[in-house]
Structure formats: C-alpha cells, structure tokens
C-alpha cells in the first residue's frame, strides 16, 4: 500500500479530530478547482436573430476531452431552441476569442469558430434546449439561464452549436458557453 494513502486514512485518527472540530476537510467544487488551475474557459456573443433563423458556431475540440459546463441564453422576445451536433461538415471559419477563467491562464487546444460555410449539420448528439419566454404583451424575453450542464465532448472532434429563434420578428439573443478542457478525473497525486 502506498504510504501516503495509509497516512491519510490513519494519521492521528483524523475523523475523530474532524468530528471534535480539531481538524477540517477542505472541499471545493470541480468548477472552482478548474478555474484555479486555469483549465476552464468561456466565450459569449450577442446576435440579432431574424424570424425563425438559425445562428451557428463550431466548437473544434483539440487533443483533450472537453466538459461543456454550461450553455447560457438570454433573449428579448419569444425564446430560442439550441441544439448540438457531432461531426458537422464545414469549410473555413474565423476563431472567436475564448477567455480563461483564470486571468493567468493560457489558451485551450479547443477552438470556437464562426463565419464558416456549413454543408451538413452532422448528427444531433443532445436533446434540444427549449428556452421559452412568457407569451404575453406585457412581458417578453428572459434573463440569462444555464442549460445542458456537463456535456462531455470527445477529443479531436467538431461540434456544431445552433441557436434558432422562436419569434416571428427579429430578436436579440445573448449566448455564453463555459467549458473545462483536460482529463476528466480530478488529478490527486496523494492517492497514486
């Protein structure tokens, strides 16, 4: 048995000391740990979507897996339907900026593309997200809400992200994604 593991389980009856408030376990979420380690990124954009039109972007995953933590939407009118497709066919594209959640972090291997020519959506690989607003004359739109948390994306694969307007008129839509790039288990050298 690894001696470090033995110490964790047996050092000074740690559980008794925790119960008696003499020691503590520090706990943090994956989200917090990822941001502290500089391995979580975000991107956002605001677009005007015409009646029942679709806005697209490509998430081109690099050599490491990606955990798509969030897709967030806000809209001014009736709402949107968002979808994700695997292995779309496309040419060209311009990189949209990705921002590290740690100001000292670098850039991911993953790229976010817009302005490409799409020839095939690929295979839909997730349930549609129906972000529907109130249907009244007094109230329309919705502030930012998160959807589809923790969708695991394969390395070296492209994914098409779509946003379709549900309104019969133009509407402004704000979209944001947040993702972790790296191995999918939290590294813990103490137990190896």
**1 lies in a domain?**
no
For tokens 């979808």, what's the residue?
83
Residue 178 sits in which domain range?
Answer: 39-182
Check residue 134 and give its pLDDT: 67
120 vs 38, higher pLDDT? 120
* Mean pLDDT confidence for 3-15: 54
**33 lies in a domain?**
no
**Phi and psi at residue 128, in whole multiples of 5°?**
-60, 145
**125 lies in a domain?**
yes
Arithmetic mean of pLDDT over the chain: 84
Share of the chain above pLDDT 70, in %: 76
**144 lies in a domain?**
yes
Domains in the chain: how many in total? Answer: 1
d(CA 5, CA 192): 8
* Strand stretches in 50-100, DSSP E: 54-60, 66-75, 79-86, 89-96, 99-100
**123 lies in a domain?**
yes
| 135 band by pLDDT with thresholds 50, 70 and 90 | low
Check residue 92 and give its pLDDT: 96
**57 lies in a domain?**
yes
Residue 28 has pLDDT above 90, yes or no: no
The secondary structure element, H or E, covering residue 174 is strand 171-181
56 vs 137, higher pLDDT? 56
Q: What is the pLDDT of residues 69-97, one digit of tens each?
A: 999 988 888 888 999 999 999 999 999 99
**77 lies in a domain?**
yes
* Mean pLDDT confidence for 116-130: 96
d(CA 81, CA 165): 7
d(CA 65, CA 163): 23
**138 lies in a domain?**
yes
Check residue 150 and give its pLDDT: 86
| 147 band by pLDDT with thresholds 50, 70 and 90 | low
113 vs 188, higher pLDDT? 113
């Amino acid at each position: 048995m690894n001696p470090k593991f033995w110490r964790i389980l047996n050092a000074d009856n740690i559980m008794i000391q925790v119960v008696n408030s003499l020691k503590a376990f520090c706990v943090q979420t994956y989200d917090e740990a990822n941001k502290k380690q500089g391995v979580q990124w975000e991107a956002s954009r605001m677009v005007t979507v015409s009646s029942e039109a679709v806005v697209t972007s490509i998430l081109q995953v690099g050599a490491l897996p990606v955990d798509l933590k969030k897709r967030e939407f806000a809209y001014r009118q009736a709402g949107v339907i968002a979808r994700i497709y695997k292995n779309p066919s496309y040419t060209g594209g311009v990189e949209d900026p990705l921002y590290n959640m740690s100001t000292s972090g670098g850039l991911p291997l993953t790229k976010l593309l817009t302005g490409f020519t799409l020839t095939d959506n690929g295979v839909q690989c997730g349930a549609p997200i129906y972000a529907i607003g109130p249907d009244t004359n007094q109230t329309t739109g919705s502030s930012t809400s998160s959807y589809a948390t923790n969708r695991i994306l394969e390395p070296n694969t492209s994914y098409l992200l779509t946003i379709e307007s549900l309104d019969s008129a133009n509407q402004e839509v704000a979209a944001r994604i947040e993702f972790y790039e790296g191995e999918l288990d939290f590294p813990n050298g103490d137990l190896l």
